[in-house]
Amino acid sequence: MKMKSFGRTAAILSVASLALVGCGESNTPAAEGDSEGEGASSEVAGTLVGGGASSQEAAMTAWTDGFTSVAPDAQVNYASVGSGGGRDGFLGGEYDFAGSDAAMSDEEWESSKEICGPEGAFHVPSYISPVAVAFNVEGIDDTLNLDADTIASIFAGEVTSWDDEAIAEHNPDIELPSTPITVVHRADDSGTTENFVDYLATASDVWDYEVSGEWPGEIAAESAQQTSGVVGLTSDTDGAITYADASQIGDLGTVAVQVGEEYVEYSPEAASQAVASSSPVEGQASNNMAYELDRRTEESGAYPVVLVSYHIFCNEYPDQETADLAVAFGEYVLSEDGQATAEAAAGNAPISEDLRSGAMESLSAITVAE
């Protein structure tokens, strides 16, 4: 089968039309359906098991419900174990696919060849989401304006009070309290952490720590497991600040990030704009789809603290049923119906139409081992 070449790691945008597949005798799953998510085959059956990013939890509930409505004999089970846990479980054969807010490393991709055949695994984007810098400070009811250096200094523990001059100079019209700052970070290996730290390391001149899904251990801070944990702890702590998928921050206050000469609040549209100005990264499977985000963009209206959440699939599955289910579910997620469902449930930015055909071609490359 002819496959289109894409790139690797950090972030991406795309969509695919829905084409739920029926079980067949061919080694390549056969698809039929339409881009709206209607009229698809109900013949696909069985259980697909996935695990990974907790940031996908709200969207995943909507996707699995929607998928079952068009394929009543199919079921998707998903464990919210964090992006790192999802990739580990996928590579260990525990999951048929992984949800991850960060792409596999080259080493992980090489390992994937053991379970996914010679082309290994590949990434398909499931949605784009801004990562909110969110806080809970009694007395501050407005959005705060901050630049990358100040955000980095806060999370590095160098700015420790909410009335610090570094914060005040960006917010001259807000009366800031002297409340101590409590930084809250993810305790688990997290794609959200990796995207946020990548922003701090790239966009600021003061962050000296390695970009990783694990928070730098040398920074004294509070921590909690998964997205719900950091949001909950921040909500319960006066003076706390955290980072989280914007769809799940609830009533927390948020930061407008300085981009060029303006301050940009998070929104799905602003996140999509930041991704659109980014470039694909070469490497890994020939049908891999990933983009490296331009965290230093100065494009008006772009919000650079953004993640692209991926679904990671094998290029080659051991049996027809799993291959059919993987293609069917992947294409439902990327369909117009799947994207609209996720947007309504979690506030995610729908994937751009421009790359819909590319994502479709990537999924269509899935085959069955001979």
CA dihedral 6, 12, 16, 18 (to 10 degrees): 130
Assess whether pLDDT exceeds 50 at residue 128: yes
Instruction: Tell me if 285 sits within 8 A of 109, measured CB to CB.
Output: yes
The pLDDT assigned to 353 comes to 74
Q: How far apart are CA 132 and CA 31, in angstroms?
A: 37
Is pLDDT above 80 for 11?
Answer: no
Give me the pLDDT at residue 274, please: 86
Nearest-angstrom CA–CA distance, 90 and 186: 21
For strand 182-186 and strand 74-80, is the pairing parallel, antiparallel, or unpaired?
Answer: unpaired
Given a contact cutoff of 8 angstroms between Cβ atoms, the answer to whether 206 and 152 are in contact is yes
Q: How far apart are the first and last CA of the chain?
A: 15
- Rounded Cα gap, residues 190 and 192, in angstroms: 5
Rounded distance, CA 22 to CA 331, Å?
13
Q: Looking at per-residue confidence, does 267 or 1 come out higher?
A: 267
Mean pLDDT across the stretch 121-150?
A: 94
Is a pLDDT exceeding 60 seen at residue 8?
A: no
Question: Do 270 and 264 form a contact (C-beta atoms < 8 A)?
Answer: yes
Report pLDDT for 209. 97
Per-residue confidence (pLDDT) for residue 129, from 0 to 100: 86
- Digit-coded pLDDT (tens) for 252-282: 999 999 999 999 999 988 988 888 777 776 7
Measured between alpha carbons, how far is 204 from 258 in angstroms, rounded to an integer?
11
Band (pLDDT 50/70/90 cuts) for residue 3 is: very low
